[in-house]
Amino acid sequence: MSNKVIAIVVDGMRYDKACESLGFIQHLVETNQAALYKVKSELPSLSRPLYEVLLTGTSVSMNGITSNQTVRLSTEKSLFHLTKENGLKNATASYYWVSELYNRAPFHFIEDREQEDESKPIQYGRFYWDDDYPDSHVLMDAEALRRKYDPHFLYIHPMGVDVKGEKYGSESKEYREQILKMGSLLAQLLPIWMKEGYHILITSDHGMSEYGNHGGTTDGERDVPLFVISPRVETGIHEEVVPQLAFAPIVCELLGIERTGKMTSYRLPGMKEMVYGG
């Protein structure tokens, strides 16, 4: 069984709108090819703190990344550090804040746009800084990295849904359209990745309020989806709400590496034991 993982974090995509709009992915759920969970995000429901939560499995009071204005390298071990330490390759196509958390802060817009250095936590990276950089380009940047470097862990982070949500609100035509576009883009890539045997996770950092903001405690701001396509996970809709702190240890399990001591020991409902041997 493969130990390669692709994780897509669609920034600002709330649970209910994802369930309504990601038609092909919901088809996979309906036909028992994918699992769906609801995740309750950590607080504050803001991007930079939650990138750190997703990638290190630590809470903001532990890691100190408490706001979007906390511009410094993380002091925690991320999934990038762990894959590198375990002799696995990693890559990402992400917003530049991810680079600032794990490779260098502040971000150098010329030198850090494209990164290829296996000695760094993020070994292969393509980073953007315009919030409206097209989601299609982010996904193709990631697919180019996958085809060139064949990473064990590929982290993909498009921003378009968040941009439309903040501008128009979660109940707007524009916000729903952007999630529909993301669904269409993923529908082109998921069959390729599934055929090649990747474990695939699709989630978000935070949701979005009807007023076009986030950072607070409402369900709209905190509830996000987690779709999992993997032979290790039972398909269908799971009722138990998953804590966001469980994301990093779930990825570790699918990669076949040990989680850090700071990560939760939470076990995803429907996760099957690894079977060894032929």
pLDDT, one tens digit per residue, over 57-87 is: 999 999 999 999 999 999 999 999 999 999 9
Q: What pLDDT, on a 0 to 100 scale, did the predictor assign at position 2?
A: 84
Average pLDDT estimate for 42-53: 98
Q: Look at residues 173, 178, 219, 244 and name the one whose alpha carbon lies nearest to residue 15.
A: 219
Is residue 38 pLDDT above 70, yes or no? yes
At position 48, the amino acid (one-letter code) is R
CA 229 distance to own-chain centroid: 14
Which residue has tokens 């699918």?
Answer: 254
Q: Look at residues 85, 90, 92, 93 and name the one whose alpha carbon lies nearest to residue 136.
A: 93
Average pLDDT estimate for 181-200: 98
Is residue 34 pLDDT above 80, yes or no? yes
Q: Hey, what are 172's tokens?
A: 């707007």
| CATH numeric code, 5-255 | 3.40.720.10
DSSP, res 233: B
Question: What's the pTM value of the predicted model, to 2 decimals?
Answer: 0.97
Q: What pLDDT, on a 0 to 100 scale, did the predictor assign at position 57?
A: 98
Q: What pLDDT, on a 0 to 100 scale, did the predictor assign at position 275?
A: 58
Q: What pLDDT, on a 0 to 100 scale, did the predictor assign at position 276?
A: 44
Rounded CA gap, 33 and 216, in Å?
34
Average pLDDT estimate for 231-258: 98
Q: What pLDDT, on a 0 to 100 scale, did the predictor assign at position 277?
A: 41
Is residue 136 pLDDT above 60, yes or no? yes
Q: Hey, what are 190's tokens?
A: 């998921």
Average pLDDT estimate for 17-35: 98
Give residue-wise pLDDT tens across range 84-130. Answer: 999 999 999 999 999 999 999 999 999 999 999 999 999 999 999 99
**CB neighbours of residue 20 within 10 Å:** 12
H-only helix segments in the chain: 15-21, 23-30, 47-56, 60-63, 79-85, 96-102, 135-149, 160-168, 173-195, 219-222, 247-255
Q: What pLDDT, on a 0 to 100 scale, did the predictor assign at position 1?
A: 72
CA 104 distance to own-chain centroid: 20
Is residue 9 pLDDT above 90, yes or no? yes
The pLDDT confidence band at residue 209, using thresholds 50, 70 and 90, is very high
Is residue 53 pLDDT above 80, yes or no? yes
Q: What pLDDT, on a 0 to 100 scale, did the predictor assign at position 278?
A: 35
> Is 10 within 8 Å of 161 (Cβ atoms)?
yes
